[in-house]
Amino acid sequence: MFQCKTSEQPVVDRQETAAIDTIQKDSIKVETEITKDTLTKDTTPPKLTPKQLQLCAFDEKMAFFRSLKNEQKINLKYPGKLLRKGDSGIAVIPIKRKLQLLGLLKEDSLTIHFDSSMNTAIKKFQKMHNIRADGIPGRNTFRFLSWPVNKYTQSLEKNRNRIAQQPDSLPATRIEINIPEYTLRFYEIDTVVQQFEVVVGKYKNQTPTLNSKIAYLVFNPCWTVPHSIAVKSILPRLKRDTTFLDNRNMFITENGERKNHHKIDFSQFNKSNFPYKIFQNASPGNALGQVKFMFENSHLVYLHDTPSKYLFNKDFRTFSSGCIRVNHAMELAKLILNADQNKAIIKNKLAKGYPVKVHLNEPIPIIIQYQTARYNEQLDMVQFFYDCYGLD
């Protein structure tokens, strides 16, 4: 665990010490015990706030990277094939040099052999960048291995400024989402209870940073298809086959009135004149899954479940149109309802088969932020993430 100086040592009053010298030996013993007890209490470091913890970790890591200013140029290129434990070759040497530079590998291990120590170091490096820690340096691992040291210092400086602008204290119960980390954390009493993988918006449909409060959950949500998706993805398919909607439990409305889509000639419409709204009923294949989490914001984004679970296996997860998809969303729903002391029984709500709102007694704060570097208290490590929106 990193060390952070948070208070100065107490100053001993010399006059008080001189006075003590005039007291009898028995009194001195008593006074000494009291002084020891007082000093012990005064020197106990206070618990750091989440903001202080981040800043302290950043400052320590910044000092480390600045000490590496004499970095030698290391020629790191993806070798075109996956290297694994037990392999040998000159391609191993530059990887080991970079791991040594970062303090992840001992200096006496510079050989052409991909040994156990290198495998362990690669896993640490992968965790440091929040990618799959399998010990195999693939393309995503090489993306970060190629970073020069000054990229780390620049990332720390920019993200330290972001953290410095955050409030000094945060609600004890809250949800935090870090976009470039693709991670949601649920906190109670300022402690991470559980974390979840998330999918965020594509580069052209970026998930916004914001502060709000989750006011209610909707079980069995009905999806209102965004107009952009309707005209770009669905309309071309409807021109070929109107049963596309039937197969996906969808329907069409115009001015609030449901229409028979089999009687519509979709060939006459394009992106600029498509007059309909498309909805998807609650169902196992619904794009919003079994639950969505609603909070006030001007961007009209929300959290939701998804049937596309395979995307959570990817290292970089920018696939949505702006909303945030949550892995194991029903587990998050349980945590929220338990924290809210809400007696709603989820299975009963789901059994209804139609959208059901559950309002929270006390809305839960949600913070969506963009940090390409962050101190992970569980791993005791400053992690660095891919700048998916190019904001650094």
8 A C-beta contact, residue 318 and residue 203: yes
Q: Which amino acid belongs to residue 202?
A: K
Short-list 25, 313, 338, 79, CA closest to 197: 313
Known catalytic residue at 323: yes
The H or E element spanning position 377 is none
In the 8-state DSSP scheme, what is residue 206?
P
Which contacts qualify for 60-66: CB closer than 8 Å, 24 or more apart?
Answer: 60/2, 60/3, 60/4, 61/152, 61/156, 61/382, 62/153, 62/156, 62/157, 62/160, 64/103, 65/149, 65/152, 65/153, 65/156, 66/153
Burial class (CB in 10 A: 0-12, 13-18, 19+), 94: middle
Short-list 92, 77, 147, 152, CA closest to 122: 92
Known catalytic residue at 304: yes
Q: Which two tokens stand for residue 195?
A: 């974390």
Within a 10 A sphere around the Cβ of 178, how many other Cβ atoms? Answer: 22
For every residue of 31-78, DSSP letters joined together read: HHHHHHHHHHHHTSPPPPPHHHHHHHHHHHHHHHHHTTTTPPP-----
Q: How far apart are CA 363 and CA 211, in angstroms?
A: 12
Q: Which two tokens stand for residue 247?
A: 């197969």
Of the residues 261, 304, 328, 359, only one is catalytic, namely: 304
Within a 10 A sphere around the Cβ of 24, how many other Cβ atoms? Answer: 7
Of the residues 323, 328, 359, 388, only one is catalytic, namely: 323
- Provide the annotated active-site residues: 304, 323
